[in-house]
Amino acid sequence: MEPRSDPDRQIEEARASLVAHLGELGRRFRAARARFDLPAQIAARPLASVGVALGVGALLGLRGRPRRPGGGGGLGRAAAAALGALALRLAKELAMRGATEAARGWWEHHQRASPSEIRTSYDPSIEPFLER
């Protein structure tokens, strides 16, 4: 086997370097895609996502409205929109807290229920419907 010439060695080194850089670039791209995965971010932070959506909607709504001649009110409307967004967020959080407590109570009740209590909730009259 003949020894490699200097240009061949340089080409091989450049190729290896390019492959290594492409591998690192692919890893970074996958990490960035995972970080900016919108559905995953929304699932991880639902309340913040609702707040952002309300804020963006309010800003777009304010931007698209025609201006009254001689009247500003942009800052007042923006403040009202922000207060509305906060109120909706608070209402949603309270509703979610109530739903969570209700679900927890239901679950605890059914975990404590005896097998006979669970069987009594079964309605045999729906059996023919289920067989269809």
Considering the domain architecture, whether residues 26 and 59 belong to the same structural domain is answered as no
**Structure confidence at residue 123 (pLDDT):** 67
Considering the domain architecture, whether residues 86 and 117 belong to the same structural domain is answered as yes
What is the 3 state secondary structure string of 44-99? HCHHHHHHHHHHHHHHHHHHHCCCCCCCCCHHHHHHHHHHHHHHHHHHHHHHHHHH
- Domain-embedded: residue 131: no
**Structure confidence at residue 6 (pLDDT):** 87
Using N-to-C axis directions, what is the helix angle for 74-112 and 46-64, rounded to 10°? 150
Considering the domain architecture, whether residues 89 and 112 belong to the same structural domain is answered as yes
Considering the domain architecture, whether residues 85 and 25 belong to the same structural domain is answered as no
* Domain around 86: 46-64+76-121
**Structure confidence at residue 42 (pLDDT):** 76
Considering the domain architecture, whether residues 58 and 113 belong to the same structural domain is answered as yes
pLDDT tens column, 14-48: 999 989 998 899 899 888 887 777 777 777 788 88
Considering the domain architecture, whether residues 55 and 103 belong to the same structural domain is answered as yes
